[in-house]
Amino acid sequence: MMLSIDLLDTARAIAPEIVALRRAIHAEPELGLHTPKTRDKVRAALANLPLTWAEGPSTTGLVATLKGGAGPGRRVLLRGDMDALPMPEETGLSFASTIEGAMHACGHDAHTAMLAGAARLLCARADSLAGDVQFMFQPGEEGWHGARFMLDDGLLDPLPDAAFALHVMPNAPHGVVAGRAGPLLAAADQLEIVIEGRGGHASMPHQTLDPVPVACEIVTALSAMVTRRFNAHDPVVVTIASIQAGSAHNVIADRVLMKGTMRSLSQGHRAALKDAIELLVVGIAGAHGLTADVKIIDGFPVTICDARAVDFGEAVTRDLLGAEAFMRLPDPIMGAEDFAYVLEKAPGAMFFLGVAQEGDDWAHCCGIHSTRMMVDESVLPTGAALLAALGEQFLAKGFYS
């Protein structure tokens, strides 16, 4: 396999445009399923290209389709997400967020800019492409199920033969691409527990049904349950991240509200975890004479990468960027990603791209979802070129298997 030798050079030549788009999006972050300003920035950046655009009723997500000039063939999808996080920014950048309480702290601004760059690169090569490329600009990744809505709206119909996405990692080696076959990221479900007791004066707890020590017992019991009920080789994670109760130092509350997250890497353990938590919480509360209600809000499924797609991505990366540019991850990451919905429908893979500053101690850089998360923008043309190479090579030769 030999990629076009000038692909990376061409991407570097349009680096100013890629960076400018990333900075414009970064300065005006938008949340949720509707990101109209970001959508309009993408449309403007790609307005002069031979793309067919589609948009559905549920989101402001876009799918731009490039039809190759070398005749019909395979269909490949390349995806970038567009939404930001509801959090402040503390980077001090000249193009920092101008929207209070919103920040691109997960790199979606970079993902969108790299995908737009890939669209420019592939449009310039359209005459040599046999088949179609779908560029999926997706909002609502941060817990909003944007990919599922775009699928339900029929924007990926017909489904692609392969799908790829890149995710930047600020605390990973500069310019290195990483991936793994099988589970890459976890399923993530939300957990809400309400413990109902009977409040009263804090000096007379025997006259109350105090829900606070019951909540504390539940937290420790959940930790024990994870290690004793579930095989460590198919891991689950349960974290109670919020406990809300009481209004004063001398008042025992009537109720406790607990919120947390549940992570799993298999459908079997995902279902078993839900049942086990319900049994444990209700049982402990009942043992103390209290009642409990457990609410589980389904999140993203497990992100599973097709082994053929990962092998293909490794080969493309090494050919484009060099033999040392790709790293196999030994273990899954317990974060979650709604690209999982696309990978349930089409074979493909997500890869991570290290965007730590070259020469920095990348292991100690601020990670994603940090108010001080930074991206070395010199890596963005690399990401654009890689996305374009994945699309070009898949149309030409499939997965090489």
Helix (H) or strand (E) holding 252: strand 251-252
Residue for token digits 């527990």? 193
Q: State how far the Cα of 126 lies from the Cα of 5, in Å rounded to an integer.
A: 16
User: Does residue 375 contact residue 110 with C-beta atoms inside 8 Å?
Assistant: yes
Residue the block writes with tokens 């947390």: 260
Tally of CB atoms within 10 A around 295: 11
Tell me where in the chain the CATH 3.40.630.10 domain(s) lie.
Answer: 7-185+303-397
Maximum CA pair distance of the chain? 82
Which DSSP category does 159 fall into? Answer: P
pLDDT tens-digit profile of 62-83?
999 999 988 899 999 999 999 9
Class of domain 7-185+303-397: alpha beta
Q: 187-297 — its CATH code?
A: 3.30.70.360
Span(s) in the chain for CATH 3.30.70.360: 187-297
Q: Read off the pTM.
A: 0.92
**What's the whole-number average pLDDT of the chain?**
95
| Residues in Cβ contact with 181 at an 8 Å cutoff, skipping those fewer than 6 apart | 305, 306, 307, 310, 311, 349
* Sign of torsion over alpha carbons 16, 20, 22, 26: positive
Paired tokens of 86: 């509801």
Q: What is the pLDDT of residues 12-31, one digit of tens each?
A: 999 999 999 999 999 999 99
Give tens-digit pLDDT for 245-292. Answer: 999 999 999 999 999 999 999 999 999 999 999 999 999 999 999 999
- Quickly list DSSP for 65-86: EEE-TT-S-EEEEEEEE---BS
